[in-house]
Structures are given as structure tokens and as C-alpha cells.
Amino acid sequence: MSQLRKISRREFLKKTGQASGGLVFAVTFASACQPAGPGPAAKAAASIAPNLYVNVRNDGVVEIVCHRSEMGQGIRTCLPQIIADEMEASWDRIEVIQAQGHEKYGDQNTDGSTSIRKHFDLLRNAGATAREMMIMAAATMWDVPAGECVAREHAVHHEASSRSAGFGDLVDTAEKLAAPEKAEFKSRQDYRFIGKSMDLIDGHAYTTGSAMYGIDTVLPDMLYASIERCPAFGGSVASLDDSAALAVSGVSQVLRMPDPTAPAFFNIQGGIAVLASNTWSAEQGRKALVIDWDRGANGDYDSASYRESLIESASAPGTAVLTRGDIDAVAGRADQTHEAVYYAPHLSQAPMEPPAAVARINDDGSCEIWACTQDPQTARQTVAATLGLEKEQVTVNVTLLGGGFGRKSKPDFIAEAAWLAKETGRPVKVSWTREDDIRHGYLHSVSAQYFQAGLDADGKATNWLQRTSFPSIMSTFSPDATGPGGFELDLGLLDNPYDIPNMRLETCDAKAHLRIGWLRSVCNVFHAFGASGFADELAHLAGEDPKDYLLKLIGPARKIDPADDDAKYTNYGQSLEQHPIDTGRLSAIVEKVAEMAGWGRELPEGHGLGIAVHRSFLSYVGAVAEVSVGEDGKLTVHDMWTAIDAGTIINPDRVTAQMEGAGIFGMSLTMHGEITAKDGGVVQGNFDTYPLVRMNESPHEIHVHIMESDAPPGGVGEPGVPPIAPAIVNAYFAASGNRIRELPLRNSGLA
């Protein structure tokens, strides 16, 4: 290699395509891929901002601020839809501005499917108050009552005098007026954008390769960093020989990172950073490091032996967190008693773009960040604490995210870049490799669940005992956390919808040995897998159709409040009055998804249908999978049907895409997803050892139905995942007669 030259990812694709022809694509761009609206005006002399989210320029362009992070879910399209609809702005006259991290926007953490459900009314108000300000300005300019004016199609009209004025024409007058704090919302029947499938704002950038992600940021005089971290969580450097690394062409420095803290929080987790003039040199220098590690307290962690202890923990009495009736009194009188243990392993979020951040220390000592972050405010606070700054001295610029799934709400990688920028006195980009991401991230928790139920002579469930054991996310923030607790119990445990008169839900101890974080749908993933799988077992024990039995378990339409059974339930941060646990909506989803799949139809030999339903993040999702088992023993998923009731929908196309994505995501977890550990370190490192579902494994089609509803918006990005695994394993039982209670299926030879 005679010359080393930095090229972009896009340039690499172009050059390899020219060389081999294998990476050349022919694309015809539809209207969805055209630039969204006009670019910035050549000269915009004035503007008026009625609120944080809207700025009207005198050239007529309405700038709409998106305060949430775009990671493929389409939030930079959906949030403007709400504002533009209420404002009566024209879709081709808006421009989306990405917000920096700042507390003035309230909650910016793009996690938990909160972007719409927590901000719908706030954003409607932003649009409505901007509309009213334009009306007030027109009424003032024309000296007519505001009640005689109406906003429509990016202008205000006074029909009595046949006068109209565009929004841009009203800026000068609006500047002199006080902005209203509240305004009346439009009627649902008058919506023009809400509830409509709108083209992606960023569609053109995605498809032309001009979209800028965290890894794309480049600053003048920037150093590139690659960090070798201890294989075991919490371990530190015992000794270092960096002579070979420093001899690598392009390498300028080798720095020891701050040792890990306990608890971990989102702090730097130690290691050795190699800094160079390009990524290749940094990574080659990193490979040349000779490090002896002190693996610390978790150095002997072995996931295989931990699995046995976790199952043992779940199989013994735990701490009751919900008690209904008296299961001890009725259990002995059951005509049939059935028990089972379900197990699911650690998982990695594995977004397509691994974590990446750039940091620069300015001349005044302040710090500026460019990062693919889901939570810019927490990033701002973490960087400030890392550098000993006030948060006002930290600016966080949010790039597009190449996926997130919860990983990029933890800003440890951003803190690394900031610390290195301060130490070197130059801008620094930290890019995690795929191996870094899988081995050193915040993993989805491993879990074991124990179930016991009694059936009467008619097959009706009379008692239900469920124990759940898993290392808690809270272990990341508190060393005293030794098992499930707090909000984790809300996620598919305390909101059990089954109409069973005697029920006890318990938690059991489990100590964390890896960093634990949240992954798409969090604890709902393993709670739905266990509860829906066990419900299917009871159906077959009772000799009944699984769909019909599921509806019997759910029971009559009613509203459930876990507090009635002395459980502490927070309902995803929103009121049960506005977002009740509604078993009528849950049953309707069961009926709909079964109808979509043709439940009860005659199937080919060796095929089976499985059904599951789950409420999470205030939405209701059902799934049916059709599978078969070949002569080689491998499972094939032929088709998948999903139905969602998420209340009021903003963009049906985005909901459909999220449900399709959740189907593939859920299949990947079901078929292949497993993180294991040996000698304290994660074994898996890339997609060869942590595979995702590939095209040849994907269903023929994922059929999606969105229920019509005028209920308040629920979540969309996360709720599609939980019912996928149980639908597949229940279908496998229907096809083969064999019951699977442990994920992933490849460990059973099925994938």
C-alpha cells in the first residue's frame, strides 16, 4: 500500500462499483425522493417565531423545529405534519430544522415511543397558536375583526372583502403582536395532513446519499480515535505496551481513558485510545497494542452457568408485586395444574450505524458535539460532567441516526469524544466498530420466567402464578439493584390482561454482570414471549382452539387498573384515564389479526399458525405467523400478519413501515438473537456470530392492518416487536407438536 487517502463511504461505493459492477444500482426517483420544499431564501430580511417550534419567514417559508431524533422512524416528517396541519401551512412551503439539545424543548429523549403520544397536543398547540398569530396580524393589517378571518393554504383570507395575504406578507405586522399561548384545535374532520401518508421529508437525502449521519461528520484538523476496551465490564488496564501502536503510520497519540465508574451510568468505561490522522491508522494502531487487563469483579462471568442460576432463582418463591384473590387456596383444587419455565438471552440493539460522535473544544473552553444521539439533553449533561463544565457550555448537534433501538440514548461514546478532544486540544471523532457495539454496549437483559396455572374441569384458568427474574436496567445506575423493579414491571407484567380470579406476580433476584440497557420494547419482549407462549400451552391443555382460548383468557371488555390489586403501575408515564388498559381493544385486535390470517383454514401438511397479542407503550398489537418445518428440521416463516390499534395515527405509511420493521426485528431476536459471555467478555462480535434475519429467511409478506380509532395516540415504534416471538413459537408447536420455551430458535436447530 504505497499511499493512504481518506475517502468517504459514498466514494468507496462509487469506486468499487466502477471496478466490479457489483455495487452499481439503477434508481428511478419517485416524488417521495424529491427535495422537500424550497431551500433557504437568498435573502430573508425578517421572521417571526410565535413559539419554539415555528418560525415564519417573510419569504413565506415556515420553518418547523423537530426536537426529536430521526433514526428511520420518520419523526422529522410526522411532527411537522401535526404542526403544519394545525397551522394551515402548505406542505411544499415548510422547512424542517433539527433542534439542538436544550431543556427548553422539554423531553427530547427519543425512546419509549414517546414522540407522538407525549407531544401530540403540544405540537398541535404550536401549530394552532402560529395560525392564530397570522390571523391576528391579518386582522390588524386590514382593521377587521379576527373572527372574520380564516387561515387556509398558507394564507389568511377575509372573505367579506375578498382580501388574502400569504403568511410571509404578514411577518412585519406579526412582529408587533404578542403571540397567543393557546388556540382552539381543528376538528378531526378538517385534518389535511394528520392521518395521511405523507412523503418522507428526508427521502431525497436518503436515496441520493446526501443524508448526514454521526459517522459522516468531519471537522478541520480532526483526529480519528479507536478505543480498545476491557473485555469484562468494569475491568481496567493493568499494563500497556504501546510502542508498536505508535510506530504505525498516521498514529499520533495513545491515551489511557479514565477508569470505569461504579455504577456505570453513561460514563466512559476505560480502555486505551489510539488517535490518528485517519480511521484505518487508528484501528491498525489499536490492533498493535499489547495490554494486560485486570478484568475486575465480573471477570469470571459465564452466561451458561448464569442461565442455570437465573432459572433456579425464578423457580423459587420471590417478592409479590401483584396479588389478586388467593392462588394458594385454589391451586390445590384445580383439576389440572401446569407449569413451565421460559428463558430469553441477552440481546444487542445492533443498529446499522454503530455509535459515532465528534467533539471540539472551542477557544473559550466550551464544547461542541456532533452525534447520532437519541437523547441530546442527557448527552449535554454527561459531557458537561465529564469535562467539568456547566451544561450551558456544551452544544449538542443532532445528526441523523442510522438506527438506534435504544442504544444511542446512552451517550458514553459522546463522552469519550469530548474527553479526547480536551486531552488532545483538537477535534476528535470516536467511531465504534461493529465489534465494539456488540461487545461493549448496554445489553438487553437476560431473563427467566416461571409460570404455573390451574384449570378447572371446563378448562378455564382459575389461578395464575408468574415469576420473573432478570438483571435490572437500574443496575446501570445503582450498584444495589439486584433484580427487577420500578418501571420494568410495567412492561408486560403488572398490566396482565387475563380475566383470572386468582393471580400472583412475583419478582426474583438477579445480579448484573454486564451493562444493562433498554432495547426496542424493553422487558415486553421477554414478558410477552413467556406469557403468550404459556397461554397457548393452556389452550392445548384445555383442548381448545388457541385463538378462542386467548379471547376467553382476556375475558369481557373492561378497563383494568393494577392498583386495584395493590400494584404500583405508572402506565408508561401517562394517565390510565386517558390511556386505560382496555381489554375490549385487545380482544378486537385478536379477532382482526385472526381474520387477516384466515384463522381456522386448512393448511398444507407440516404447516401451523400461531397467534399472540400484547399491549405495550399504550398500543395494542396482535401477530399471527404461518410456519412450516422442513425435512432438515429447519423452521420457515411463510407469512406474518400484524394488526395495531395505536389510537390516532399521524402517518399510516410510517406506521406500516414500523410494523414491518418490527416483524423483521422480532424475527431476528426469535431465530438468532443471543449474546453470551465467557471469562467476563461477550463472545459475539459481528453479524457472523450475532446474525440478523436475511432476505432468504424473511416471510413472503408481512401483512399490516391499522385499526381505525379516535383514541389519543399510543406508541408505534416499539409495540410491534413483543408478539412476534410467541406467534412464531406457537405456530411451530401447531406445525410440529413440539414446544419451545427458550430463545433463540437456532439453539434448538430450527434456524
Domain boundary among 208, 223, 258: 208
H helices present in 390-488, as ranges: 412-424, 434-440
**With b meaning 16 or more CB within 10 Å and e meaning fewer, what string describes 416-425?**
bbbbbbbbbe
With cell 414446544, the residue in question is: 739
Specify whether 243 is located in the same domain as 188.
no
Residue range 562-613, pLDDT digits in tens:
999 999 999 999 999 999 999 999 999 999 999 999 999 999 999 999 999 9
| Strand, helix or coil for residue 629 | strand
Q: In this structure, are 48 and 88 located in the same domain?
A: yes
Note the pLDDT tens digit of each residue in 274-319: 999 999 999 999 999 999 999 999 999 999 999 999 999 999 999 9
Backbone region of residue 146 per phi and psi (left: phi > 0; alpha: psi in -120 to 50; beta: other values): alpha
Residue 13 lies in a domain: no
Look at residue 19 and tell me if it is in a domain.
Answer: no
Could you tell me if residue 504 is inside a domain? yes
CA dist 136 and 149 (Å) reads 9
Is 343 within the bounds of a domain? yes
Name the residue range of residue 48's domain: 31-208
Helix 724-736 × helix 524-542 angle, to 10°: 30
Please tell me the predicted confidence (pLDDT) of residue 5. Answer: 67
Q: What is the mean pLDDT of residues 544-548?
A: 98
Using the 3D structure, point to which of 208, 230, 259 is the last residue of a domain.
208
Domain annotation covers residue 87:
yes
CATH for 658 = 3.30.365.10
Shared domain for 57 and 163, answered yes or no, is yes
Q: What 3-state DSSP class applies to 304?
A: helix
Kindly report, residue by residue over 103-128, the tens digit of the pLDDT: 999 999 999 999 999 999 999 999 99
Contacts of 566 (CB under 8 A, 6+ apart): 322, 323
Over pLDDT 90: what percentage of the chain? 93
Average pLDDT of span 382-399: 98
403 and 546 share a domain? Answer: no
Closest CA to 313 of 510, 475, 505, 531: 510
Beta pairing partners, 725:
none
Question: Which residue carries 478484568 as its cell?
Answer: 295
| Greatest extent of the chain over all pairs of C-alpha atoms, in Å | 84
Co-location of 91 and 236 in the same domain: no
One domain, residues 66 and 150: yes
Weakest-pLDDT range from 38-42, 376-380, 402-406 = 38-42
User: Are residue 634 and residue 709 in the same domain, yes or no?
Assistant: yes
The grid coordinates of residue 219 equal 471537522
pTM value is 0.95
Q: How far is Cα 38 from Cα 532, in angstroms, rounded to an integer?
A: 50
Cell output for 639: 407469512
pLDDT tens track for 464-523: 999 999 999 999 999 889 999 999 999 999 999 999 999 999 999 999 999 999 999 999
Q: How confident is the model at residue 479, as a pLDDT?
A: 83
Last residue of a domain, one of 178, 208, 238: 208
Q: How many residues does the chain have?
A: 751
Question: What gap in Å lies between CA 70 and CA 92, rounded to an integer?
Answer: 20
The answer to whether residues 659 and 407 touch, using CB atoms and an 8 Å cutoff, is no
List the beta bridge partners of residue 340: 451
One domain, residues 394 and 314: no
Alpha-carbon Rg of the chain, whole angstroms?
Answer: 28
Q: How confident is the model at residue 9 (pLDDT cuts 50, 70, 90)?
A: low
Question: Do 344 and 365 sit in the same domain of this protein?
Answer: no
Q: Are the CB atoms for 516 and 477 separated by under 8 Å?
A: no
204 and 119 in a single domain? The answer is yes
Distance, CA of 549 to chain centre: 32
Helix (H, G, I), strand (E, B), or coil: what is residue 129?
Answer: helix
Is residue 33's pLDDT more than 80? no
Residues 208-265: tens digit of each pLDDT? 999 999 999 999 999 999 999 999 999 999 999 999 999 999 999 999 999 999 999 9
Q: Is residue 1 part of a domain?
A: no
Run of H or E including 383 = helix 376-387
Do 261 and 364 share a domain, yes or no?
Answer: yes
* Residue 635 grid coordinates: 423452521
Same domain, 727 and 620: yes
The single-letter DSSP state of residue 514 is S
What's the CA gap between 119 and 127, in Å, rounded? 12
Question: Measuring CA to CA, how many Å separate 537 from each of 42, 201, 721?
Answer: 67, 46, 21
Q: Is residue 330 part of a domain?
A: yes
Based on the structure, what is the number of domains in the chain?
A: 3
Whether residue 229 is contained in a domain is answered as: yes
* Mean pLDDT of all residues belonging to the chain: 94
Percentage of residues of the chain with pLDDT beyond 70: 94
- Give the whole-angstrom CA distance, residue 482 versus residue 524: 19
Query: How far is residue 124's CA from residue 144's CA, in Å, rounded to a whole number?
Result: 26
Phi, psi torsion values for 560, nearest 5 degrees = -105, 135
| Burial (Cβ within 10 Å: 0-12, 13-18, ≥19) of residue 749 | exposed
Comparing C-alpha atoms, which of 296, 306, 307, 289 is closest to residue 232? 296
